[in-house]
Amino acid sequence: MAQETVHYSHSEKDFILSPHSKKAPKRMASLMELKEIFRSADAVCFDVDSTVIREEGIDELAKFCGVGDAVAEMTRRAMGGTVTFKAALTARLGLIRPSYEQVQKLISDNPPQLTPGIRELVSRLHQRGVQVFLVSGGFQSIVEHVALQLNIPTANVFANRLKFYFNGEYAGFDETQPTAESGGKGKVITHLKEQFHFKKVVMIGDGATDMEACPPGDCFIGFGGNVVRNQVKEKAKWYITHFDELLKELEER
């Protein structure tokens, strides 16, 4: 039998967009309208890898387990555009095969580094009564560690879960989590709207899967403070490189 535990993910960032993503035919919101949605949002969802934190979780885990170069090469091949996120995640984790002990040691010895400005931005959102969620293709244990640093309830974390046998060996990952699938972040936002009756939900992230989540999200803000993904920079109507830009927007009102 396997016991479940946490997860860290990899670049869902540049993988192909889900063929099931629905693009609304209505007129695209202007930048001014997007800023107003952000200022009046009920909830803000953040991607984690290369957005809330500076690193890509699965890359750090691969390096820690001694297979960094091989996983990086798999990533380069995968980004050719024909592989789904779940298939790519399965292949990488199959090569890394991290044990429970290795994951915990990575967190303690090399904890994820918060992106400058994120702590202040999350605090300001909380002060305004805005619900903040972490929606990540990364691993639950890593993302929960980040959430605790930002005073975000672990119930507001949506991420992938690694599985381990009782001796701590890698046993796979929970494939039923929405974040394990292409298009999963949009499913999470739909769930949040249905559960909490949010009217305006913002998604902030560096990758294509973050952009894909709007709609159902009402506003997407591309983030390039750690890594610039050209597809996102070119297509996002609102693109920032530092969280101070969003803090200033909140001060406008």
Tokens 């293709």 sit at which residue? Answer: 137
- Amino acid of residue 47: D
What b-and-e string marks burial along 216-247, b requiring 16 or more CB atoms within 10 Å of the CB?
A: bbbbbbbbbbbbebeebeeebebbbeebebbe
**Is 210 one of the annotated active-site residues of the chain?**
no
Determine whether 47 is an active site residue: yes
C-alpha span between 107 and 111 (Å, rounded):
5
* Residue 19 backbone phi and psi in degrees, to 5: -70, -15
Which of the following is catalytic: 14, 49, 206, 218? 49
Q: List strands edge to edge, sheet with 201-205.
A: 157-160, 131-139, 43-46, 201-205, 219-223, 239-240
- State phi, psi for 223 to the nearest 5 degrees: -125, 125
Q: Which residues sit opposite 239 in a β-bridge?
A: 222
Going by C-beta distance under 8 Å and a sequence separation of 6 or more, which residues neighbour residue 183? 17, 18, 20, 21, 209, 212
Distances (CA, A) of 122 to 103, 127, 130, 246, 249: 26, 9, 9, 10, 14
- Name the residues annotated as catalytic: 47, 49
